[in-house]
Amino acid sequence: MCVAVARRVGVAAVAASVKVKQFLLSRAAAFAPPSSSGVQCYAASRLSSTENSDDEVAVVDRIETESDEDSLAVPLTYNEMVSQVADTMAMASEEGFKRQIVRILLPRDASSGKLGEMYEPQAETSTRAKAQEMKLVPTDESWQGGIMQLLRACTPTLTDIMTELSPTYRTTGVPPSILEDRSIDESGVDGVSILYTSMGSGANTKQSSDGGGFFGGFLGDFSPPSLSDDDVCVFVQPTQEIIESVSSISSTSNDALIALVNPQWRNVDDALDLASSQDNIFGAFASFLGGKGNVLRQLDELDFKATYTLEGYVCKGGNVRLLKKFNSDWYVFAESDGGDQFVTLGSMPERPTYQDVQKMLDEKGVGYKYARDLGMAPPLK
């Protein structure tokens, strides 16, 4: 009996100690920059590794869950987004998600981040200083150069993400060899390409003469690369027309990480998409007309899962961001009037509609952007 009482007292003491540590972490996060959220998760994992009691582990697991939710913050800079995407993809891969769908914002020069600018310089991310000046922009109509300009911005971004994903880079700091193949884009203007690493000896090292490499074009027939288990293969802005290539590479590369980044089909369904999801003649006809239902069904059979999604649009005149990870709900954020942070509006298990986001803004008392600018409504801070 004395032992049981002592154990209960010990567990209560541990729980109290953990709560104190949790409180201190939350207070520190309140005065720290956005990147400090990673410190909370690290501290929680250290707690779980140093305690042995089942009751202690249960308490720590709750703290880790809360820390993961707290870590869902909109990246404000290019470097923050690259690190957040790479960490999420690596975590999902470790949990068995080897086929991933990722949607991200893309970097653009801060001086040309507004709709209506007719000249958009190519994104430059070769130096960290230059990368910090990049503005993260949704893949919308504000890109005057269309899908090919998006490709020019997406390629260096994914190169940085794949570099941080590389096991050798994480342990030794040596970046992997990353190859590009644009021969998968038969027209040459669809903005589609493949990026892949060549960690194993069986990797296909294409040369520019057959459409591969960073200086390759769209000429030549596409031949799928041979990937080792440690390789990463990314389909850049894939279209529905290349789903067979996606299936071919996925079926022959069991343990390699394969990702579809910024697919060119929408993340919401219309009438044609719903019709194309039917497994009959009408569904086939709807797919022929452009419905994505059949493609999504094939990707589901290949075990592709959405692991990271960062989207954005304008609601009530202000910028809104939607963020979801493979182990979280959908979180909605609104940009502050100062433009230096994003305020959390709420979360939903399913993807919020535009009306859902507008309702969240109303419930938070957020007025239209023009009204806030004119002092007719409280500012969003």
Predicted confidence (pLDDT) per residue in 66-96, tens digit: 445 556 899 999 999 999 999 999 999 999 9
**CA torsion, ordered 209, 215, 220, 223, to nearest 10 deg:** 100
Nearest of 86, 77, 92 to residue 34 by alpha carbon: 77
Number of H helices, E strands in the chain: 13, 11
Q: Is the pLDDT of residue 12 over 70?
A: no
Q: What percent of the chain has pLDDT over 70?
A: 63
The predicted model gives 337-364 an average pLDDT of 95
What confidence tens digit (pLDDT) does each residue in 139-157 have?
998 898 899 999 999 999 9
Please, what sign has the CA dihedral across residues 234, 240, 244, 250?
Answer: positive
SS3 content of the chain, % helix, strand, coil (to 5): 45, 15, 40
Distance CA 321, CA 227 (A): 35
| Of 25 and 135, the one with more pLDDT | 135
Distance CA 365, CA 193 (A): 44
Q: Is the pLDDT of residue 178 over 50?
A: yes
The alpha-carbon radius of gyration of the chain (Å, integer) is 23
* Per-domain residue ranges of the chain: 2-70, 78-315, 330-381
Distance CA 226, CA 345 (A): 45
Confidence of residue 270 (pLDDT cuts 50, 70, 90): low
Confidence of residue 296 (pLDDT cuts 50, 70, 90): confident
Q: Contact 247/238 with Cβ under 8 angstroms?
A: no
Confidence of residue 319 (pLDDT cuts 50, 70, 90): very high
What confidence tens digit (pLDDT) does each residue in 126-135 have?
665 566 678 8
Tokens of 88: 């999420």
pLDDT confidence of residue 226:
86
Q: Which residue carries 């044609």 as its tokens? A: 272
Strands (E), 104-162: 106-109, 134-137
The predicted model gives 194-216 an average pLDDT of 54
pLDDT confidence of residue 189:
92
Q: Is the pLDDT of residue 33 over 50?
A: no
Q: Contact 203/195 with Cβ under 8 angstroms?
A: no
- In angstroms, the first-to-last Cα distance of the chain is 56
| Of 26 and 242, the one with more pLDDT | 242
Q: Which residue carries 């929680």 as its tokens? A: 44
Indicate the average pLDDT of the chain: 76
Is residue 101 helix, strand or coil?
Answer: strand
Tokens of 64: 């880790």
Distance CA 58, CA 35 (A): 26
Burial of 257 (0-12, 13-18, 19+ CB in 10 A): buried
Query: If you count them, how many residues does the chain have?
Result: 381
Confidence of residue 371 (pLDDT cuts 50, 70, 90): very high
Confidence of residue 173 (pLDDT cuts 50, 70, 90): confident
Tokens of 61: 């697991």
The predicted model gives 263-278 an average pLDDT of 65
Nearest of 194, 322, 199 to residue 259 by alpha carbon: 194
Confidence of residue 1 (pLDDT cuts 50, 70, 90): very low
pLDDT confidence of residue 253:
86
